[in-house]
């Protein structure tokens, strides 16, 4: 399932980039609810070496997805237009 790149998600990505941390530093601050907005909740998962999020879709499905630190930067640079996620079971 495609997840839109919204201003809400871009704001999260901007906050991640502004922290100016490496993946190792994020791993040291691992938290699954570091970021919480109206439609997104998540944080960095050291086991996955990625930011793991849940997205509340308009149809009320919970969609799970991961993005790497490099994906975060591509989202902000406009190089990534969608994210693929899966419906939570």
pLDDT of res. 37: 96
The sheet with strand 86-87 has its strands ordered as: 35-36, 40-45, 50-56, 62-67, 86-87
* Beta bridge pairs of residue 54: 41, 64
Number of structural domains found in the chain: 1
In terms of residue numbers, what domain contains 77?
2-87
The strand pairing partners of 55, in sequence order, are 40, 63
List, for residues 18-62, the tens digit of each pLDDT value. Answer: 999 999 999 998 888 899 999 999 999 999 999 999 999 988 899
Average pLDDT over residues 65-87: 95
For 47-64, b where at least 16 C-beta lie within 10 A, e where not — what string?
eeebbbbbbeeeeeeebb
The single-letter DSSP state of residue 52 is E
**pTM for the full predicted model:** 0.92
């Amino acid at each position: 399932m495609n997840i839109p790149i919204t201003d809400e998600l871009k704001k999260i990505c901007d906050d991640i980039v502004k922290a100016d941390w490496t993946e190792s530093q994020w791993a040291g601050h691992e938290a699954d609810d570091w970021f919480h907005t109206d439609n997104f909740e998540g944080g960095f998962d050291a086991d996955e070496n990625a930011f793991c999020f849940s997205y509340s879709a308009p149809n009320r499905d919970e969609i799970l997805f991961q993005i790497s630190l490099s994906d975060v930067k591509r989202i902000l640079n406009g190089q990534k237009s969608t994210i693929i996620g899966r419906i939570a079971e």
